[in-house]
Structure formats: structure tokens, C-alpha cells
Structure 1
């Protein structure tokens, strides 16, 4: 059996960086799903033939559909679905899709609260993180997230963004900059997710 390589010629295996494990203790279903979702077009065309049980006709139709609209990444999405379901189950696949939608789509507060702690941290890996003393919970939104946490550069900027509908707490729009932020807002009893605009996320841990 020839060595499986990536499109750049590097080998596909556990000794390489960015490897993927079948054991969920080492690669969670969410990370597993994301791995296949993010492979290159060339790799997706090879891997869907190697790693899935799809028949030739289905694969050729998928490749043709993908080539007609590569920006939709239909091939990567099907590859990720087939392998995540095969290795982890349909339920884990659906949870991975929902977790991805939280970061990249218009997911709901309910979906965010449904994430387990490990997946939550993986979804928001790399976003700015802050620590908030629990004793400060109960304060107004604008007071908590301006200054010490530096989510907003100033109270005036925070109020302006809130008025424009550009601020969310735990995927729910903030309509009043004076709204109190308390224990009941914590996700998994310890996290707050602040969103500024469409793409700026901040994960706050209450300690």
C-alpha cells in the first residue's frame, strides 16, 4: 500500500504536526470533523476515494459538483460527514456541525449552552481570553467589559455598538449597556462569550 501523503507531499500520519486520531480522547469529534472540513481541494478528491465507502458514481458526481462551485466546499463537507459518522456516530457529527455554526454561522444561545466544556474551549481556541473575578459579577455589562477586560476601548464605544445591535453576550443581543451580568449568565458555570461585531469573540472565565 503506498504511503498516503498530503497535496504538499508531506506524509499523512501521527508523527506529523496537525495529526488526527480516531480515539476521541486525543481528537474530539469536533476537531475530527474540522480536520476533514479544512483539507485542500486536491486532498479532498483523494481522501474521499481512500477513506469513505462511497461508490465511484457518487464520488465522481460529488467531484463534478464541487468543481462547479469550489467555494461551497461541498466535497470537504461530505468527506467530513462520512468520516465523522463512520468513526463517531451520526449524533456526534450533528453536534460537530452545530458547534461549527456557533463560530461561523447564526447559531443560537441554546446551542451554545448545549456544548460540553471541552468542545466550547476548542471552538473558541485562539480567541482573546480574559479572567473575571466572581465577586465582580452582578455589575453592568458596560462596566465589566471596558477597562480591565478591554473588550471595548471605551464606554462610549461600547454604548454605540450596543445601540447599533453589534454586541452579543452568549449569542444573545445586548440591548442595554447597563444590563447586569450575573451567575445565571455563565455557561457551564464559569464562561461568558462576548461578541463584538460579526467576527470578534472574547471568552471570559469567571474565577
Structure 2
């Protein structure tokens, strides 16, 4: 006995919906994995604003005016954003090799933020060690 067409279409539609749901879930998983890997301090992956924004809601962030960020010292910026409690803590971490700007380890306590450091002209990612991060949105 042959099934009515509406039954077959219903099953096909359900199958299509389930496949689409699975695909979107896997796509989200891979995007999250890519963002997590890209944001690992010392990672070779080139950062972009999309990767940083992908995890920005899961880590602390602040907004600063462009003029306040450009030509500021990394030590001062680490304190003013709340990433570190004091300049001495920032310098100590820097000497230990644990202060990162956009995943690049910074070794000089004289590091000044340049326009080329600002990712896509709107974000910075500061890291104190591997787990303590701060996204700085530039307005």
C-alpha cells in the first residue's frame, strides 16, 4: 500500500530540519573552537575583530577613547583597564614574560600602543598570563 504524499513530505521536512539544526550546531562549535584557539596567548593565528568579538561576552571588557589608547604605555593601559592592580604588578608580569598584547608577548616595559596594534581599528586584547584577559573597545 502506498503512503499519501503529505506523509512523505512531512518526514522529509523533519529530516531536513534536523540536518539543518545539526549543521548549524557544528558550525557554531567550529567557530567557537577557532575563536578560542585564536585568542590563546602566543597563538600564531592572526587576530581580527570578529574573532575577538566572538568571545568578548565571556571575558571582561571596557571602552576607551581612541585618543586615550593611542600612544599610551602598555603598563599604564593594563592598570587603567583594570587588567592589573598596579604599575609594579604590570612591570613584574612583563619581566616574567606574562604580559600580552593581541596574543603577542611583550618584553619591553616601554611598549607604546600604536595605531597598528589596534585590531581592525576598534579593539585590543590584553592578557595577563594565559587566563586573565581584557577586551578594550576603542571608541
Conserved 8 A contact 1:140-1:181: yes
Q: Give unpaired runs (5+ residues) of structure 2.
A: 1-10, 12-17
Aligned pairs, number:
120
Residue of 115, 124, 135 corresponding to 1:192: 124
CA contact (8 A) 1:99 1:112 kept: no
Mean Cα deviation higher: 129-138 or 96-105: 96-105
Instruction: State TM-score, norm by structure 1.
Output: 0.50
Which consecutive unaligned segments of at least 5 residues does structure 1 have?
A: 2-12, 14-19, 34-92
Query: Are residue 158 (structure 1) and residue 90 (structure 2) matched?
Result: yes
State the Cα distance separating 1:119 from its structure 2 match. Answer: 3.6
Once the two structures are superposed, the pairs formed by residues 16-165 of structure 1 within 5 Å of their partners are: 29=27, 32-33=28-29, 97-103=33-39, 107-108=43-44, 111-113=45-47, 115=48, 117-136=49-68, 137-146=70-79, 148-165=80-97
RMSD, matched Cα: 2.8
SS at match of 1:112: coil
Q: Is the 8 A contact 2:41 2:130 kept in 1?
A: no
Structure (1 or 2) with the greater strand fraction: 2
Q: Distance in 1 between matches of 2:74 and 2:112?
A: 6
Distance in 1 (alpha carbons) for counterparts of 2:89 and 2:32: 35
Deviations 1:129-155 (A, max 9, x none): 011211121121112221x31111000
- Tell me, yes or no, if the aligned pair for 2:35 and 2:54 is still in contact at 8 Å: no
Cα distance between partner residues in 1 of 2:66 and 2:41: 30
Residues 11-66 of structure 1 show CA distances to partners (whole Å, capped at 9, x for unaligned) of xx9xxxxxx6856xxx793xx22xxxxxxxxxxxxxxxxxxxxxxxxxxxxxxxxx
In 2, Cα distance between equivalents of 1:119 and 1:107: 13
Distance 1:154 1:28, change over 3 A: farther
Could you say what secondary structure the match of 2:82 adopts?
A: coil
